[in-house]
Amino acid sequence: MASADLLLHPVRLRIVKAFLGDRALTISQLAAELDDVPAGSLYRHVGLLTRAGVLQVVAERRVRGAVERTYTLRLFAARIGPDEVAAMTLDEHARAFMAYIAGLLADFDRYLATGPVDPIRDGADYRVAAMWLTDAEFVDFLRDLNKIAQPRLANPPGKGRRRRMLYSVLLPGSAKPSSDDRSSRTARHPPTRSGGSP
């Protein structure tokens, strides 16, 4: 099975996301988080991800005559490779992006359902900004972003730490600046946040 087909299934995508942040989970713990997914379906999808090497068993123990397995995510295996991305059709990219956005919306809905929520206290933020960058400046930006995020992605769960989901979307805008795009005007308008964001 191609990794895009494997990873972009709605249920499998949620399973993979549940393990992000260096988490080790049993099927029971996973089922408690994905309580709308039938148990049989959950076992089937975990089995597929395990056989594909995306999940790995890190511990086993006997519980009332059954074997309870603890799984972790093999992060490097939970990615769609550059060659496969390059070979994807426009329709496949559209479907992949829709799966990504659907996952984001579902996560936000689940956050709202935990209520009462306080976006400022909880650090729930969403915004959009535009930058004029050469290709070289864009590569520098990605490298700087990676330098900031990478050490924190390795943080294990611990006291006082809350799991925070980071979504990123980078899209090219219009290729040519309009007559209204002036440095002075851009400077007066900070990055805008979507409606209702803190």
For 63-96, write each residue's pLDDT tens digit.
888 899 999 999 888 888 888 889 999 998 998 8
Say if pTM beats, i.e. exceeds, 0.75.
no
User: So what's the pLDDT on residue 181?
Assistant: 55
Q: Under 8 Å CB-to-CB from 35, ≥6 apart: which residues?
A: none
Q: For the residues 22-50, what does the mean pLDDT come to?
A: 94
| Amino acid identity for residue 23 in this structure | R
- Name the CATH topology of 1-117: Arc Repressor Mutant, subunit A (1.10.10)
* CA dist., res. 105 & res. 71, Å (int): 26
User: So what's the pLDDT on residue 132?
Assistant: 92
**pLDDT band for position 187 (50/70/90)?**
very low
Give the DSSP letter of residue 86: H
CATH 1.10.10.10 domain locations along the chain: 1-117
Is there a contact between 127 and 194 (Cβ–Cβ < 8 Å)?
yes
